[in-house]
Structure 1
Amino acid sequence: MQTLDSTVKWFNKTEGRDKICKVLQYGSRFLMWHLKTNSGNEQLSNQFKNLFQSTRDARKLFRLAKSLNELQTIIDKLGQNCKNPQEQLAKALNILTRVWFLLYWFFDNLSVLSSIKFTTSDPKPLQKKAMTFWFIAIITNLVDTIRSLVVNFQYIQQNKSNQSAQQQVQNKQNQNKALYLNLIKIFGDLMPAGQGSEFFPKVLKINLNDGVIGLGGLISGAIAAYQAY
């Protein structure tokens, strides 16, 4: 019963529903590509294409006004006191990440409102701006995650023989496990963000197909769903 209660509460969370939709969205995108490219099953591929597009649009509607969440997080972070330069750097990177995500949600919201004809703007340039800020947010988050791993490793190495610090060492090791998952999730999200922002095709001259993008988003969504649970 306890597992059932936890599962129901998880599904009732907005984040939980969004991550399940993300798994469906990118899983469908991967299957759409796989069935069309490797199996030649055009009809089933089109069915997964419809599921991919529907879940993509549903997630966009879920995220309306989500920039307000980021604004509240930024305000809370600005009010935090930092004891040393290391904490100041962590705070700055965290705030920067949230600022980029705020702009991502903002333009993403404008894009979906344009797509459903609520506004008269062209959704394509708005979506490109959204994906660009998402890509920047991911890169900033990547830098912050690597910084956290380095700091934790330094602490573990310096205190592995210190008996009085063993509990803190264990805490750092547990934090690293979560950070490793975050790294995998970040690299997964880089696939759709890098393609959507046109960084990969225009800067790196790499044009990712739907299979790679779908697989990256699927892995990221699965990890995010696990973490939300």
Structure 2
Amino acid sequence: MSSLASQVILHPTVAETLKVLNTTLGRDKIYRAVQYFSRFFAWYLISKGYKLEATRWNALKGHLATARKLLRLGKPLEHLQLALRAAQTTGEVREQVTTIGRQVGYFGYLTYDAIVWANSVRFIALKPDTAAKVNKTANRFWLAGILFSIAHAVFKSARLTQEVKEVRLLSEKDIGGENARYARVRTIEALRTGTRHQFLIDILDLWIPATNIGLFNFNDGVLGIFGFITSVLALQKHWSAVNAK
């Protein structure tokens, strides 16, 4: 029995999970996945007439949303730093501009989101209409950040596609041999895969702030599924990055 317990507790998957949970980003993505699944499942239960059963899932969704806002209190400064670093680097102009726009958008979103959190825990007291305006402004910044991220992915993907074509046209003498060509193509393809992965996340996440500010009218079931999928995709990416170290 003890041997079986040891095999379970010391299993590599358990160790990898603990490494992810030891990071703030890992915990945030897991909380987000549960939050958006709860949003979907509460909507599903209500649509089937199980309003009482949906109450606990709505409560879980609300508490996780508040917890995630607390986890992200320091992140606006991180995005501001990334925007400043992008402004100081040289590179493809369109990618640089969209990177700065994305980071500034997320900086604004998380800054206003922190005010929403402070009001929700009654650390500050905002009038209902002011709180609604702050929340709407946060979602506008979020939407702007996602749109810049999508534009960045389009520009970067086009550049990487062109780079692959150019590398394949080079002679072995120019690039240093077939092995060097293969390594270069693999590197570019890995970057392109990562760009497409983020593009998919952004395309699905886009509809959440767009609905929150009234541009679209998706129900909680659709938004819950979108949010759950993007949370799992982001968690997979973070899992690979953490456990590759």
Aligned length: 218
1:194 equivalent in alignment to 2:172 = no
- Secondary structure of 1:117's counterpart equals coil
Deviations 1:55-82 (A, max 9, x none): 1111111111321111222232233234
> What residue in structure 1 maps to residue 28 of structure 2?
18
1:117 equivalent in alignment to 2:133 = no
1:157 equivalent in alignment to 2:165 = yes
> What residue in structure 1 maps to residue 143 of structure 2?
135
User: Which of 46, 50, 53 is the matching residue for 1:41?
Assistant: 50
How many Å apart are 1:115 and its aligned residue?
1.7
- The answer as to whether partners of 2:94 and 2:155 remain within 8 angstroms in 1 is no
> What residue in structure 2 maps to residue 66 of structure 1?
75
Deviations 1:183-229 (A, max 9, x none): 221122112111112222xxxxxx11001111111111111111111
CA distance in 1, matches of 2:98, 2:108: 16
CA distance in 2, matches of 1:70, 1:51: 28
Deviations 1:153-211 (A, max 9, x none): 112223334453332211121222222221221122112111112222xxxxxx11001
Which residues in structure 2 correspond to 1:88-103 (within 5 Å)? Answer: 88-103=93-108
| TM-score scaled by length of structure 2 | 0.83
- Secondary structure of 2:74's counterpart equals coil
Mark the runs of 5 or more structure 2 residues left unpaired by the alignment: 1-9, 176-180, 240-245
How many Å apart are 1:128 and its aligned residue?
0.7
- Secondary structure of 2:206's counterpart equals helix
Greater mean deviation of Cα atoms: 72-81 or 142-151: 72-81
Matching residue's letter, 1:54: H
Deviations 1:27-55 (A, max 9, x none): 11011111221x33222222211111111
1:180 equivalent in alignment to 2:185 = no
> What residue in structure 2 maps to residue 57 of structure 1?
66
Matching residue's letter, 2:227: G
Deviations 1:59-113 (A, max 9, x none): 111111321111222232233234xxxx232222111110111000111011111
C-alpha RMSD of the superposition: 1.7
- Secondary structure of 2:56's counterpart equals helix
CA distance in 2, matches of 1:81, 1:181: 24
Q: How much identity, in percent, do the aligned residues show?
A: 25
CA distance in 1, matches of 2:162, 2:231: 31
1:76 equivalent in alignment to 2:85 = yes
Deviations 1:125-160 (A, max 9, x none): 111100010001101100001111111111222333
Mark the runs of 5 or more structure 1 residues left unpaired by the alignment: 201-206
